[in-house]
Amino acid sequence: RTCSTSTPVTTVSQYACQRRTTTENHNKIFTDAFEVLAESYEFSEMEGPCLAFRRAASVLKSLPWAVRSLGATLDLPCLGEHTKAVMEEVLQCGRSFEVEKILSDERYRTLKLFTSVFGVGPKTAEKWYRRGLRSFTDILADRSIHLNQMQQTGFLHYGDITRAVSKAEARSLRNIIDEAVRAITPAAIVALTGGFRRGKEFGHDVDFIVTTPELGKEKILLPNIINGLKKQGILLFCDYQASTFDMAKLPSYRFEAMDHFAKCFLILRLEASQVEGGLHIAEGDSRGWRAVRVDLVSPPVDRYAFALLGWTGSRQFERDLRRFARVKQRMILDNHCLYDKTKKEFLAATTEKDIFAHLGLEYIEPWQRNA
Ligand code: ATP
Ligand code: MN
Ligand code: MN
């Protein structure tokens, strides 16, 4: 479409949970620039501007048309002075000077490189940067640095883990998890979640929810799945976190980002022979297998809908669901429950649709949650 006909007819909500965002992004030139700025602010711990750029990117991702002039953005929420200045530069020059400056900045480049290692967060990256380290060679040569198990595995499988996981690989992993789970209890429930549930073609990992129809029986799942994968010889790494979930403590978990369900962050060995069309690896790589990141979370079945909604993402969609619940409905939503502060009661849900209905929101399909 041309920009003269692209003015939105209906108003765009400031909440991602009131927008439908597919994987088709018509404004990638802007959102890629915003993502660099957001990340740069994140590295400087400036949460305000970081969030502002993430919100702006999310609004542009939801548009079924490409922005071709600043005039077309007049009715859009979440676009401030700074965002518009960047957009103007991109519209006029095809690139943003500010973004290019960040991309060539030594600190940004180093922190980006270090945090690309599995197990290395912004704090560790910053610490290494302050010590004067600038490359992986620097880190591995520094005898005073102790790498934990996760980081050692991160370096060992760096190439594979930083390489995107394909849909075909995700399907194959689903079969592997399905089989491991059925061997424990045939009635078990396995659900694909995360980016692949949102219809993405590629992901940085594959996320699954596993539980049992019988409440309480889910406790045996993860330890047994992990054992099964180990016996198959395909478990390359496992960080298992036992459940700390306690119904009696709800809804006071609200200030934490993570949930309290049992979960594990895995690295699995995936054989080429198990993937339709072959592995998504570098051309010329003939190992016949690759390492892939897999996350499993195991909530009690009565928490299933909340866990599924929380783990499907995107992160921005989740943030806005919670914010909408808090600001518009005086409710607390997290991965465990929905609590109505006015009525002082928990709102029950067995499906995601129940949760959207409680929140007074139109249902948004998983593939429309790519905010
Ligand atoms: P990608 O394709 O890059 O993996 P994704 O959307 O699947 O994208 P993930 O990091 O796998 O991203 O996270 C999936 C969802 O699970 C997100 O909505 C995130 O909020 C949630 N999530 C991830 N890790 C945790 C955790 N430790 N505790 C609670 N929720 C989490
Ligand atoms: Mn994921
Ligand atoms: Mn994940």
Tell how far CA 148 is from the center of its chain.
23
Based on the fold, state whether residues 136 and 254 are members of the same structural domain: no
User: Do 169 and 295 sit in the same domain of this protein?
Assistant: yes
Is residue 138 part of the annotated active site? The answer reads no
Query: Residue 4 pLDDT > 70, yes or no?
Result: no
* One domain for residues 232 and 351: no
Quote ipTM for the complex: 0.96
Which of 207, 259, 320, 334 is catalytic? The answer is 207
Per-residue pLDDT of 16-58, as tens digits, reads: 999 999 999 999 999 999 999 999 999 999 999 999 999 999 9
Q: Same domain, yes or no, for 97 and 150?
A: no
Give the β-pairing of 289-298 and 206-211: parallel
200 lines ligand 1 (CB under 6 A): yes
Residue 363 CA to ligand 2 centre (angstroms):
22
Which DSSP string corresponds to 306-363?
HHHHHHH--HHHHHHHHHHHHHHH-EEE-SS-EEETTTTEE---SSHHHHHHHTT---
Q: Ligand 1, from 193, 315, 321: best to mutate by most atoms within 8 Å of Cβ?
A: 315
Whole-number pLDDT of residue 255: 60
Give yes or no: residues 296 and 177 share one domain: yes
Task: Looking at the structure, tell me whether residues 110 and 98 fall in a common domain.
Answer: no
Same domain, residue pair 64 and 91 = yes
Count of all residues that appear for the chain in the document: 371
Return the CATH number at 273. 3.30.460.10
Q: With a cut of 90, say whether residue 326 has pLDDT above it.
A: yes
Amino acid 250: pLDDT: 86
- Same domain membership, residue 84 and residue 30: yes
Q: Give yes or no: residues 270 and 324 share one domain.
A: no
**Domains identified in the chain, total number:** 4
Quote the CA–CA distance of 66 and 89 in Å, as a whole number. 16
The answer to whether residue 60 scores a pLDDT higher than 50 is yes
One domain for residues 203 and 281? yes
The reported pLDDT for the residue numbered 1 is 44
Domain boundary among 302, 333, 350: 302
Among 302, 328, 348, give the residue marking a domain's end.
302
Same domain, 250 and 180: yes
Q: Whose CA is nearest to atom 28 of ligand 1?
A: 258
Cα gap 58→190, rounded to integer Å: 30
Q: Are 54 and 34 in contact (CB under 8 A)?
A: yes
Q: Which domain holds residue 359?
A: 308-368
pLDDT tens sequence across 62-109: 999 999 999 999 999 999 999 999 999 999 999 999 999 999 999 999
Angle, alpha carbons 89-91-97 (nearest 5°): 25
CATH of the domain at 341: 3.30.210.10
CATH number, domain at 141?
A: 1.10.150.20
Whether 246 and 209 map to the same domain: the answer is yes
Helix (H, G, I), strand (E, B) or coil at 197: helix
Residue whose C-alpha is closest to residue 279's, from 198, 164, 179 = 164
Q: Please identify, among 256, 274, 302, the residue that sits at the C-terminal boundary of a domain.
A: 302
